[in-house]
Structure 1
Amino acid sequence: MRTRILMAAAASAALCAVPAMAGAAPGGPTADAGNRSFTMAVYGDAPYGTTPTDTAETDATPAFVASVNADPAVDTVVHVGDIHSGKQFCTEAYDRQIAGLWSGFADPMVYTPGDNEWTDCHKKAEGGGVYNPATGQVDHVVDSAGNPVDYAGGDPVANLGLVRSIFFAQPGATLGSGSLHTLSQATAYDPAHPADAQYVENVIWQRKGFVFVTLDIPGGSNNDTDPWYGAPSMSAAQQQEVQQRTGADLRWLGRAFDIANAQDAQGVVVIEQADMWDLDGKPSSHLTQYEPIVSSLAARTSAFGKPVLLFNGDSHTYRSDNPLEQGAPCTGDDGVCGYDDWNSHPSYDVANFHRVTVHGSTVPLEYLDFTVTPGGHAKTTATGFGPFTWSRHIEN
């Protein structure tokens, strides 16, 4: 029978030095005891469809869930964002369908949203619309009855609200089954920044001397700064979205490292959707709005001095490297290592960092068996970094 872990958000004397957050004890979730290794299934950018009516991967998801459930090592599931493709519509019915499928996981599931389910819902290809310069309004994609096909006409903020209402209805609770409890920014926000309370999707949990943190960082749109609906410039609502979320992410990342330092944690695992180093055929300036997050991540990691591993999705092609160190070894698919991602955010030199870009939109569906071994100090390889190891699990 698989292990079920309860992470209580209780105070700990070891965390007295960590600044208090609203609605929670000063420390955050307590860590469980023991030093046995544990394994998570990590995947993302799935299910995907090539057209609005392509349901092949969605139809295959129940069998995929059953396969993960049958993996005797796995006791937690992590999804790094994008529950549909950029060619599928953003609808409430679809979001609820995915939540229903995920309820079949026999283990706790942690999910961080991707750009396709909220920030990119404004795009015409996703059922949003196009800015009309003649009218100054948005021409929405409509159905046969003349109604917008997307939820709220593709408005990103409204779609994030929808995602929160379906997947994060109870702050700190996870999806799937089991009793993993996380600390949500919604209940542990910095009182000096009350707007941070809306980021229920940002969570922290601890396990066997390791701190895990999720951050809502959408990929594909330069941290959501590509103007919505293709308008000439960002609206006031979009500017507010970017400013508030980026600030909240930075504070939550700092919170995770504060906990890790106070607990003398063995390592930190950061989970977010954006591939903040992927040019995707665009100039390096298209990654500028990720720089504050990359800078904070680099500084915090360097000061922590122990292994920090980041999982991201977004670019779909599997990659294992350290983009915070120039010329670091790289392993990946389809020639992805031909470009040194360090060049996307140069000047950093942080050796105790590693990044894994999770494969996405694959047929058949697949996931990473990600194992954490307390006390592990393995050399960095294509599939290992200190206490962390991983392998690809491809369905037949």
Structure 2
Amino acid sequence: MIGDVPYGAAQIAAFPTWVDEINAAKPAVTFHVGDIKNGSTRCDDPYYAMIKTQFNRFTSPFIYTPGDNEWTDCHRANNGSYNPLERLAYDRSVFFSNPGTTLGAPMKVASQANAGFPENVNLRKQGIDFAVIHVVGSNDDLQPWTGIGQTTATPQQAAEEKARMANAIPVVHNAFADARRKNDRAVMVLLQADMFDPSYTPTWNDISAFKPLVQALIDESATFDGPVYLVNGDSHVYNTDKPLATGSSWLTTYGVSGSADNLQRITVDGSSNNKDWLKFTVNRPGAAEPLSWERVPYQHQAG
């Protein structure tokens, strides 16, 4: 797992070596949980092509879900004052031109391309069911596009976000349904947005868009006999917690019903903390936990 990388010139220069280091570990699958650039650099076409070239250098199947920096936040003047929906369409045209197939080493995945969301995918590996969904920071793109003169979300913004979230939640349902049907050991949901960022107290305008997904995660996890892992980027600091466990303040913050004591959230390092990648291991049947993980330092550090 990697995310929020590469950020800035030094990490861009180091990224090919980081790809080599991950390849040397021979992972079964590599995931990127969004943000292929920092939030204060331009969203110009050549950058996306350069990143795709690096993504295709992975020798394992490579699965990427978009982050806010590569489309939602491109309205900013220092990003080029782009229309974010145009950048979203461009991101899809670059990274999801062959829907249903991964970047890197080709592997088939169940894609939502027919619904217009090729980035939303399900897959199953070694008794673990995965839902990779396109849910981003900036309140899932309901924050105003200030760089192009907006002070509230446009009707087009609101419609796009509603449709994208309405597609993402069934992808989560699919993963749980597959896990129950096949008696699988665990479910993992991957997305960019940190819906439970512990570093600040959010306003409702920061997180309101996530409520339907949070409720869906509670409903599914509470009726699943096994651990659930939620992996995200966005806040850049490695963290693991149980934000939806009984008694969590997040339940009140979101105004949701129920709880999910079996859901564990993991945030990957990113931004200036891009000094490592996160290695997940599927443990043998009978182990105390289906998955374990460790932070693997890059041998070559940026800068």
TM over 0.5: yes
The aligned residue for residue 394 of structure 1 is 297
Query: Cα offset for 1:349?
Result: 2.6
What is the distance in 1 between the residues matched to 2:266 and 2:222? 18
Find 1:71's aligned residue among 25, 45, 48: 25
Find 1:61's aligned residue among 15, 25, 38: 15
The aligned residue for residue 185 of structure 1 is 112
Q: 1:342 to 1:318 in 2, by over 3 A?
A: farther
The aligned residue for residue 272 of structure 1 is 191
The aligned residue for residue 382 of structure 1 is none
What is the distance in 2 between the residues matched to 1:207 and 1:316? 27
Q: Does the aligned pair in 2 maintain the 1:312–1:358 contact within 8 Å? A: yes
The aligned residue for residue 47 of structure 1 is 6
Tell which deviates more after alignment, 343-352 or 253-262: 343-352
| 2:260 counterpart of 1:358 | no
What is the distance in 1 between the residues matched to 2:139 and 2:7? 22
Alignment of 1:206-245 (within 5 A): 206-219=124-137, 221-229=138-146, 231-245=150-164
Code of the residue aligned with 1:225 in structure 2: it is: L
What is the distance in 2 between the residues matched to 1:364 and 1:387? 26
Q: Where does structure 1 lack aligned partners over 5 or more consecutive residues? A: 1-41, 50-54, 129-153, 188-196, 329-339, 379-385
1:51-103 Cα shifts (integer Å, max 9, x gaps): xxxx110010111011111114x221110000001011111100000001122
Determine helix, strand or coil for the equivalent of 2:220: helix
Q: Does the aligned pair in 2 maintain the 1:291–1:345 contact within 8 Å? A: yes
Q: Report the structure, 1 or 2, having the larger helix content.
A: 2
Q: 1:364 to 1:258 in 2, by over 3 A?
A: closer
Q: 1:377 to 1:350 in 2, by over 3 A?
A: farther
Q: Does the aligned pair in 1 maintain the 2:34–2:192 contact within 8 Å? A: yes
The aligned residue for residue 18 of structure 1 is none
The aligned residue for residue 212 of structure 2 is 292
1:340-372 Cα shifts (integer Å, max 9, x gaps): 756643664311111101110246542011111
| 2:65 counterpart of 1:112 | yes
Code of the residue aligned with 1:227 in structure 2: it is: P
What is the distance in 2 between the residues matched to 1:320 and 1:46? 20
Q: Share of identical aligned residues, percent?
A: 37
Code of the residue aligned with 1:60 in structure 2: it is: A
Determine helix, strand or coil for the equivalent of 1:222: helix
1:143-168 Cα shifts (integer Å, max 9, x gaps): xxxxxxxxxxx111111111111111
Q: 1:376 to 1:159 in 2, by over 3 A?
A: farther
1:234-256 Cα shifts (integer Å, max 9, x gaps): 21211111111111111221222
Q: Where does structure 2 lack aligned partners over 5 or more consecutive residues? A: none
Determine helix, strand or coil for the equivalent of 2:139: coil
Query: Cα offset for 1:174?
Result: 0.6
What is the distance in 2 between the residues matched to 1:176 and 1:271? 18
Q: 1:65 to 1:227 in 2, by over 3 A?
A: same
What is the distance in 2 between the residues matched to 1:83 and 1:123? 16
Normalization by structure 2: what TM-score? 0.91
What is the distance in 1 between the residues matched to 2:77 and 2:291? 41
Code of the residue aligned with 1:358 in structure 2: it is: V
Q: Does the aligned pair in 1 maintain the 2:63–2:102 contact within 8 Å? A: yes
Tell which deviates more after alignment, 259-268 or 167-176: 259-268
CA-based RMSD of the aligned residues comes to: 1.9
Pairs aligned (count): 295
Q: 1:158 to 1:280 in 2, by over 3 A?
A: farther
Q: 1:277 to 1:75 in 2, by over 3 A?
A: same
The aligned residue for residue 253 of structure 1 is 172
Q: Does the aligned pair in 2 maintain the 1:57–1:365 contact within 8 Å? A: no
Q: 1:165 to 1:387 in 2, by over 3 A?
A: same
Find 1:160's aligned residue among 85, 88, 94: 88
Alignment of 1:169-180 (within 5 A): 169-177=97-105, 179-180=106-107
Code of the residue aligned with 2:108 in structure 1: it is: H
